[in-house]
Amino acid sequence: MSLASVSLAASEGAAQAFEVRPFAGRVGAEIIGLDLSKPVNSVDFARIHRAHLDHHVLVFRDQRITPEQQIAFSRRFGVLQIHVLKQFLLTGHPEILIVSNIIENGQSIGLGDAGKFWHSDLSYKELPSLGSMLHAQELPSEGGDTLFADQHKAWDSLPEALRKAVEGRSAAHSYTARYSETKFEGNWRPTLTAEQLAQVNEVIHPVVRKHPETGRKALFVSEGFTTRIVGLPEDESRPLLAELYAHSIREENIYRHQWQPHDLVFWDNRSLIHLAAGCPNHLRRKLFRTTIQGDAPF
């Protein structure tokens, strides 16, 4: 490291001794020994950024951070996106979406069925998410796992016939595709206003996208938001998408995250799709999500 780099790192804060520990056999790694309540200098941040690109999902253990600190760390990766369901944004911190099944005074305090179908966050926007950070606030005593599926591996192992069928094609994505479908008992979604609907118009993205930082190809369709393959009749589009969905969530490409208190999980929406496994409705679950804007898929 140069003297200039040392001087810059010192001015930003002391280096922290932490370990990047890859999970065995599947996507993801955990970060051990890093405290995000303290300033992260440029050298440590570059290491975190590299690990995020290499492993696609990072689990920062035991992060006792405030909403302000989560927002500040998230912003180092890019502009933050504000969710369309403004009634579930944290008061005073609209950058944070409350993901929760808790009912207070007869009203949900957060989005109780977030992630009920496999999806990539905000793929229904012209500029989908680069990544999302989810910070555990209250965890249930059972259930509540989150599953992540590596879409680079899905593409790499896609049968040749399917590759030929989708390469160069585009698909439509819509927030309302399965918005009203129930999956978790007791959760509900508010009716979208005309203003909210105007913010989630259908968009078109490539079925196979190239990661803007690594250049790796990945499938970019999901059961949650993809509605059709452009240019194909419905009776061809539907079964083709069904084949892609089934292939994209093969067990060998999945990491199942079992939450621990104060976990902060940061995943790459350009590389992964994810799913909330759900938990018994009477057990309280609350997490804070920030979402970082990405680039237009290509």
Read off the pLDDT of each residue in 65-93 and give the average, rounded to a whole number. 96
**pTM of this structure:** 0.91
For residue 108, is it within any domain?
Answer: yes
For residue 263, is it within any domain?
Answer: yes
For residue 7, is it within any domain?
Answer: yes
pLDDT of residue 2: 46
Q: Which of 62-66, 196-200, 258-262 has the lowest mean pLDDT?
A: 196-200
- Domain residues for 183? 3-293
For residue 27, is it within any domain?
Answer: yes
Is the distance from CB of 60 to CB of 266 less than 8 angstroms? yes
d(CA 259, CA 74) in angstroms, rounded, equals 20
For residue 298, is it within any domain?
Answer: no
Which among 52, 119, 209, 285 is annotated as catalytic?
A: 119
Supply the CATH number for residue 153's domain.
Answer: 3.60.130.10
d(CA 251, CA 10) in angstroms, rounded, equals 44
For residue 162, is it within any domain?
Answer: yes
pLDDT tens string 235-245: 999 999 999 99
76 is catalytic: no
Is the distance from CB of 258 to CB of 142 less than 8 angstroms? no
Q: Which of 116-125, 138-147, 188-197 has the lowest mean pLDDT?
A: 188-197
274 is catalytic: yes
Which among 121, 150, 263, 268 is annotated as catalytic?
A: 121
d(CA 28, CA 18) in angstroms, rounded, equals 16
121 is catalytic: yes
* Per-residue pLDDT at 71 exceeds 80: yes
* Per-residue pLDDT at 1 exceeds 80: no
Q: Which of 92-96, 97-101, 139-143, 188-192 has the lowest mean pLDDT?
A: 188-192
Q: Number of folded domains in the chain?
A: 1
